[in-house]
Structure 1
Amino acid sequence: MSTQPLPPSAVQTSPGLARTRHILGLVVTHGLLLTGAAFILLPFVWMLATSIKPPDEVFTATFSLWPKRFYGVENYSYALTAAPLLRFALNGAILCGGILIIQLLVAIPCAYALAKLRFPGRDVLFVLVLLGLAVPVQVPALPLYIGLANLGLLNTYFSMMVPFFLSVFAIFLLRQFFKSFPDDIIHAARLDGMSEFEIVWRVVTPSAWPAIAAFSVFSIVAHWNDLYWPLIVITDASLAPPPLGMMFFANAETGSNYGALTAAATILTAPLVITFLFARRQFIQGITMTGVK
């Protein structure tokens, strides 16, 4: 009984060749991801390296990442004493926390209504929400400023928060997440006598923590780094958030001392990094829209 050679397709799909292709695919994929990560992290690494360099090594003809003379203690001490960085960070925390709380209190019921309730004009309202994503903050800036000035509310935390209390992005994101919530659970809650308000906050919202965490990261990063609106409504340095505080710090104290400036930037960036590390798993789940498990 003669044996016939294996067809080419059998050779190509052999376990060894498939395993090799799989390993090569992983190597290429991870290589691209590591390259992208290095490209993104390079500015932060340069900021950290500059924050520990003496002034005469910041601008040199030769490239050197690590300083020849460690100057981190002097730069960070100067940054903490030359400007109220901790006050700027506290202002940023108050600003981001206040905006986020109001945004969620408004967006969660709106998103639930657009996702699960049937009423006339629901689709039109959702279209308006999508159109609201295209309106930048610069468009209503002038009337908002005039209104706050007439009410005497400039130079307050409220003046920095009020334009962002309604987030159409939060409504859109949570609405997409609520669409995947099982209707049977909502019907059962209604049969048990729960009101729509109770269903929103006691049944639906606890399942949406990944989406809430994802939006929280977006909101905190955006408003922690916001310079445009605080620059318009704030003139008191004691109320300045981190970006505006860095402007006061640079213009008033350090001048060309870039080592101290990058040390201050490192201190003010650290809370954002810590926040993302704590919420990274929920952030990824919310972005991928895994729904209810």
Structure 2
Amino acid sequence: MSTHRNLGLAPPSAILRHAALLITGALILIPFGWMVSLSIKPPGEIFRASFSFWPEQFYGVENYTKALTETPLPSYMLNGVIVCGIIVVLQILVCAPAAYALAKLDFPAKNLLFAMVLIALILPHEVLSLPLFILGYKFGILNTYAALIFPYVVSPFGIFLFRQFFKIIPDDVVHAARLDGLSEFAIVWRIMVPMALPAIIAFGIFSVVSHWNSLFWPLIAVRDENLMPPPLGIMAFKHEEAGNDYGPLMAASTLVVAPLIVAFLSAQKWFVEGLTGGAVK
């Protein structure tokens, strides 16, 4: 090991780790790169047998123009912003106090409630789609923004992540706040949440990405085109009779994915800190 350090060389294990990360990253990025490539190709080149990333005839202007004009894609993206923004705010309002109670308060059945949160983490959301649909019908909120929002207000992952982060905050901080006369809710919003800002940002990214890309539940909950989020709106490019127009379809997909990439790159420092902070105690 010392020989590698003296020569300025990385040990074989580090080389293998970096190689595995590079290969995995490439496998993940290839579909996105191919999507961008298809979005700037004319129809005749999309199904050509030979492989080329850059098209012989640049067709990006036509494809992106169709993506923005043939369907109300900006309206779909605005719906996504509204729905995802409201979901994140409501999830934080619900999950932060719940996580604080599980992390810092003592009450009967505390461990049982935390076990239920862990069980909820492993349940696919699709399992609950039928009872949620019936509940939405009973409340009369189907085909509204509320139908897209209310199933996600309580997030087991958010409660778990915030609890883990709150656990590493010293109890002396909470005791000092109580001595200063702060209520438990004031402690949550004035002390715990600001100190757990990296976890809040990490959870916000997870939540936005998950619900921005959600197709299954919106496909069930809404029928009005004016309420469709981006993934459901992209399906408007699929034509059963005329066939799929893959160029504009890939252009629309690129436009939908681009804001997520920009948001993640802008907040990646807090994202990593938020995910790793709760693991260090």
Query: What interval of TM-score do these two structures reach, taking the shorter chain for normalisation?
Result: over 0.9
Give 1:19-168 correspondences, 5 Å limit: 19-20=6-7, 22-25=9-12, 26-168=14-156
Shift in CA distance, 17/231, structure 1 to aligned 2, threshold 3 Å: closer
Aligned partner letter, 1:265: S
CA distance in 2 between partners of 1:19 and 1:87 (Å): 59
For structure 1, which segment, 100-109 or 185-194, has the greater mean C-alpha deviation from structure 2 after superposition? 185-194
Q: Which shifted more, 279-288 or 16-25? A: 16-25
In 1, Cα distance between equivalents of 2:241 and 2:6: 60
Distance 2:186 2:43 in 1: 60
**Match of 2:57, as an amino acid?**
R
Contact 1:254-1:261 within 8 A present in 2 as well: no
Q: Distance in 1 between matches of 2:242 and 2:5?
A: 60
Q: TM-score, normalised by structure 2?
A: 0.93
Mapped contact 1:108–1:174 kept (Cα < 8 A): yes
Equivalent of residue 239 in structure 2, options 230, 241, 251: 251
- Distance of 2:279 and 2:120 partners within structure 1: 25
- The normalised TM-score by structure 1 is 0.90
Judged with a 3 Å threshold, the aligned counterparts in structure 2 of structure 1 residues 61 and 276 are, in CA distance, closer, same or farther, namely same
Q: How many residues align?
A: 280
Q: Which residue of 2 aligns with 1:211?
A: 199
Cα distance in structure 1, aligned partners of 2:71 and 2:241: 8
Shift, 1:24, TM fit: 4.3
Partner of 1:90: helix, strand, or coil? helix
3-state SS of paired residue (2:196): helix
Q: Which amino acid aligns with 2:247?
A: G
Task: Flag structure 2 segments of 5+ consecutive residues without an equivalent.
Answer: none
Match of 1:18 in 2: 5
| TM-align CA RMSD | 2.1
1:5 maps to which residue? none
Query: Which structure has the larger Rg?
Result: 1
Deviates more, 1:26-35 or 1:214-223: 26-35
Distance 1:16 1:134 in 2: 46
Alpha-carbon contact 1:254-1:260 (below 8 Å) kept: no
Q: CA contact under 8 A between 2:237 and 2:244: conserved in structure 1?
A: no
Read off the aligned partner of 2:148 and give its amino acid letter: M
Amino acid at match of 2:268: R
